Structure 1
């Protein structure tokens, strides 16, 4: 059995297909690269059940924003440019039926005490909630536009409840028109750690990328549209070993078939239960988290 690299990113699933499979039935790909700002935006659309079966992901749109680490953590102007692009893509993926006075529930998934998994809670803490300023609470209309409320459901080990169970209870009482979910993801590529943002209108399966599947959070389970924003913060240790050995074997002249046979033999020793994160993950969570929060605030306020 060939070693399978885990990922939450639809673009990486698409890239995993052989190069001679440019066209995948039921899947479309659009790319846009801004050479001046050095920002790449890729949209993967899974249009039907054939594409969903091929990609092993739900039907919907997956937009990926790739940016360069050496700029975003050193130049504020570059970070602002990425944030504005995120704001634009978020506005485009929000349901068109959402009215200007809609109620939006913003949810930060993850464990705030585990830094690689703390992106969701960190972003939520920077969100400008305003639902409590509406007329039904204050007695006078102080707030116009979208009504924003927030929720950090924690993780199963902290609460004894699935995030989906907690969110269903909130939705039944608050009646939001849409939910925006922020979470940490897993990637197949070291280069994408904290330098990629994925937006999707298919919701999210918490923990799927690391094999710790929890109840899905999507329109089918929540009964409202669910938009998910995720950033890869961990990569499987086996992936690093695989990539290093594959490059070395290719350099030595081994064929693709020989390399695949080699990995089949050592599959059980690839360390697929270990995940790696950058040593400065705390700083990266803060930098990327601030950018995401500012983009959400600007998008929902506009």
Structure 2
């Protein structure tokens, strides 16, 4: 729905419900990484009732909240790399022994959408070596079978991403598809600071209102792991959050003017207030998305982190 707060993150959908509201068919578990200290939240959609409530497909959604994800601290990124690898391994324990195809979805010409293609650029690709020398040769010792592609976007190719992947899967016969994509967030605090991993696949462009055909196990015929980091946020959401902060301040410092504003806006719930902000915004701002000014540097850093996670997962080289 156009009136919905735009987000690709399952954890943000869950947070939109009141804490007192029971989420039937949805299980939420939280933990903290023993070494990294990263907060990890598992949102499991168990049945159709839960899927309808949350607006997400049945399956597992793992969210890593990493306040320093956009920092340049190499030692800390090593901890993030290990935590991401561990969570993917929990979703797919035998991934090291599988033939893996990695798809970097997105437009490499646009920094906020270039995460997928840039991750592919940094991967250790080995399928051609294994085809040439075999799995047990000295040259390929410790290597997993990894292939990858960056299919671009429909405006560049005229072909749906799903069509490209289906053809590639039919010809190369991987056993697992890992899809990397940039996401949209609902909260500024999660922008470039959150990693979502799920076994339900993706619908490219859904978070920015440009939903394409889904890429999931049912459509691809093999297990699909999707990994994403939110790099953009809806402009209306920023306005909505600002109004929310203003209301909180006005509630503490009441005067005649703030009383009138409070009485007019406070009764709205989160979704209703968001829709009000969209209606009040100028038409040219309705479809505007915002990203940090140094997004190119941030995406470069994050792409290395994700690629290292996948390299460590798929290969056992010393």
State the TM-score, normalized to the length of structure 1: 0.91
1:220-259 matches, within 5 Å, as: 220-253=218-251, 254=262, 257-259=266-268
1:259 deviates by: 4.1
Tell me if the contact between 1:107 and 1:182 (Cα under 8 Å) persists in the aligned partners. Answer: yes
1:268 is matched with 279
The farther-off stretch of 203-212 and 261-270 is: 261-270
Aligned-partner Cα distance in 2 for 1:267–1:99: 46
1:1-150 matches, within 5 Å, as: 4-21=4-21, 23-34=22-33, 37-69=36-68, 73-94=71-92, 96=93, 100=97, 102-134=98-130, 136-138=131-133, 141=137, 142-144=139-141, 145-150=143-148
Aligned-partner Cα distance in 2 for 1:149–1:229: 17
Aligned-partner Cα distance in 2 for 1:244–1:117: 26
| Aligned-CA RMSD value | 2.2
Alignment length, in residue pairs? 297
Instruction: Point out where structure 1 has 5 or more consecutive residues left out of the alignment.
Output: none
1:214 deviates by: 0.6
SS in 1 for 2:182: strand
Aligned-partner Cα distance in 2 for 1:268–1:112: 33
Aligned-partner Cα distance in 1 for 2:2–2:227: 30
Aligned-partner Cα distance in 2 for 1:232–1:99: 27
In the TM superposition, structure 1's runs of 4+ consecutive aligned residues that sit over 6 Å from their partners are none
Tell me if the contact between 1:111 and 1:154 (Cα under 8 Å) persists in the aligned partners. Answer: yes
1:279 aligns with 2:293: yes
Tell me if the contact between 2:33 and 2:83 (Cα under 8 Å) persists in the aligned partners. Answer: no
Rg larger for: 2
State the TM-score, normalized to the length of structure 2: 0.87
Tell me if the contact between 2:184 and 2:231 (Cα under 8 Å) persists in the aligned partners. Answer: yes
Instruction: Point out where structure 2 has 5 or more consecutive residues left out of the alignment.
Output: 252-261
The farther-off stretch of 110-119 and 263-272 is: 263-272
Tell me if the contact between 2:30 and 2:40 (Cα under 8 Å) persists in the aligned partners. Answer: yes
